[in-house]
Chain A
Amino acid sequence: LAKTTQPISMDSYEGQEVNITCSHNNIATNDYITWYQQFPSQGPRFIIQGYKTKVTNEVASLFIPADRKSSTLSLPRVSLSDTAVYYCYHSGTYKYIFGTGTRLKVLA
């Protein structure tokens, strides 16, 4: 089963860049790495997905080293509304095992 490890929580201030790292030592060759954002009482929302190197979209960047055993989600210039739980995972056949996620708190 796919298993990921992330820091339990992080604090940041508005306007700062936040980097959240996820460890996925047993990632398979065909697996993509995906990050989700979840607000209280809502379903997780897709943020970004990548396979290797760097991926960037309008909300975040994803950095994946050559060995693909970890990945880093980068949120530029966070705001209070970015306070949420962030999950990473990589797929294993049809199953998706989410870790406990990283609870990001953005302070004014």
Chain B
Amino acid sequence: SQTIHQWPATLVQPVGSPLSLECTVEGTSNPNLYWYRQAAGRGLQLLFYSVGIGQISSEVPQNLSASRPQDRQFILSSKKLLLSDSGFYLCAWRGGSRGGLDTQYFGPGTRLTVL
């Protein structure tokens, strides 16, 4: 069966510090991978998605970046965090084939607080 891991679970960082959040998926190959952010009491905001190694599409221009160095690894980064980067970060995967059943599976999330 497939599983998705995210770490760390919680993180408190000062403004201006760098960020690296990691997501890995097990039990599937060539997944589509996604990073979402959820501000307190708000809905899910799609940040990045990737359909393959080295292929990243950005949905929101900001100081965050994403990379996919391996098939089942997705990394969210920032060189300098802003207060507005605080939130709940979720990684998700979906099977690589298009059309038909179309389900995303989410990780446990990382709670980021920027002070």
Contacts and interface: CB of A to CB of B under 8 A. Distances in A.
A32 B90 CA distance: 22
A87 interface: yes
A30 B108 CA distance: 29
B103 A100 contact: no
A94 B51 contact: yes
Contacts of B100: 32
A contact residues, range: 20 to 34
Interface stretch (B11-19, B42-50, B65-73, B77-85): B42-50
B104 A95 contact: no
Contacts of B109: 41-43
Interface of A: 30-32, 34, 41-46, 49, 87, 91, 93-101
Interface of B: 32, 34, 36, 42-44, 46, 49, 51, 57, 59, 88, 90, 92, 98-109, 111
